[in-house]
Amino acid sequence: MKVIKTISAMQKYSTHCRKISRSIGFVPTMGALHDGHRALIKADRHTNRIVVVSLFVNPLQFGPREDFQQYPRTLTQDRLFCEKAGADILFVPNGHAMYPDGFQTTVLVGKVTQGYEGQSRPAHFDGVTTVVTKLCHIVAPDRVYFGQKDYQQAIAVKQMLLDLNMPIKMVMRPTVRESDGLAMSSRNTHLKPNERGAATVIYHALKEGGRQIRLGERSGARIRGAIERVLNTEAVVNVDYVGIMHPDTLEEMKKLTGRVVLAIAVYIGKTRLIDNVIVRVPTL
């Protein structure tokens, strides 16, 4: 595996790959890699000739009171991790090269970014879609891989690729979980032991939502209520939102049919965690 640190070297490499018709698959990450990232790298390895992983903690997607400074940075381990997982290239651009003085362009996706994460974290998705656009222009992949854990992010990127005629396919892969159901996240390392214990309630609450749907409940409001009741059994958990949303438009679903995404954002102490499941609504 080769580590590339400059934008120009990365561009040169991807131009060469394209010239000799080698497909490129790309996994953008912020590092502190875990099995969720590994699954994306494996899926990428399965389909593409060249596997590029980027590691960049993107300041643009953090709010002024969010955890940019505290975000875990573990470059030495991440490098080994990528090599073992089967990456060919680890691209690690630096902040100043990505956003030099005078940088002034933002890529802003509309409706699908406005609710849920977009409402709780203003400008977050503008930062995400701006950096993904830049990285995709630099890496020039055929496919880009995202995790279902950040469902709204994956949909926003998909919309952006479509709207901007970027010839790249967005591939979404399932959420990888700890054995007790907690979705793997770089932020889980911030949880104190009692908070880590309480965090399992997130997945239990999502499962309860799915169970109620399978039992015949079709009211979005009542499913939200059922999910909130489970979350509220843990005193250290503060609910930010519970979303009952359409999988494509992300609009709130009042009456459930087809498929529905149940999404949760909570604060546990100072740590903000998100998770979701997609439920197929049985026809009664």
Asked if residue 79 binds ligand AMP (CB under 6 A), the reply is no
Of 24, 22, 27, give the one whose Cα is nearest residue 173: 27
61 belongs to the binding site for ligand AMP (CB under 6 A): no
Measured CA to CA, the distance from residue 63 to residue 124 in angstroms comes to 7
Q: Which is nearer to ligand AMP, 175 or 212 (CB)?
A: 175
- Token pair of 270, please? 């100072």
CB 17 within 8 A of CB 106: no
Comparison of 124 and 256: residue with beta carbon closer to ligand AMP: 124
Q: Please answer whether residues 188 and 199 qualify as being in contact, where contact means their C-beta atoms are separated by less than 8 angstroms.
A: yes
Q: How far is the CB of 193 from ligand AMP (least distance, A)?
A: 20
Site string for ligand AMP, 143-182 (x = CB under 6 A): ---xx-xx------------------------xx------
Among the listed residues 37, 46, 124, 137, the single catalytic one is: 37
* 183 forms part of the interface with ligand AMP (CB under 6 A): yes
Residue nearest to ligand AMP (CB): 147
Is residue 46 part of the annotated active site? The answer reads no
Among 10, 25, 26, 37, binds ligand AMP (CB under 6 A): 37
- Look at residues 72, 85, 105, 67 and name the one whose alpha carbon lies nearest to residue 271: 67
State which of residues 25, 36, 141, 209 lies at the interface with ligand AMP (CB under 6 A). Answer: 36
Compute how many other C-beta atoms are within 10 angstroms of the C-beta atom of residue 2: 12
- Binding residue (CB under 6 A) for ligand AMP from 184, 205, 206, 279: 184
- Would you say 131 or 198 has its CB closer to ligand AMP? 131
Compute how many residues bind ligand AMP; rule: CB under 6 A.
Answer: 16
Q: Which residues of 229-260 are buried (b: 16+ CB within 10 A; e: fewer)?
A: ebbeebebbeebbbbbbeeeebeebeebeeeb
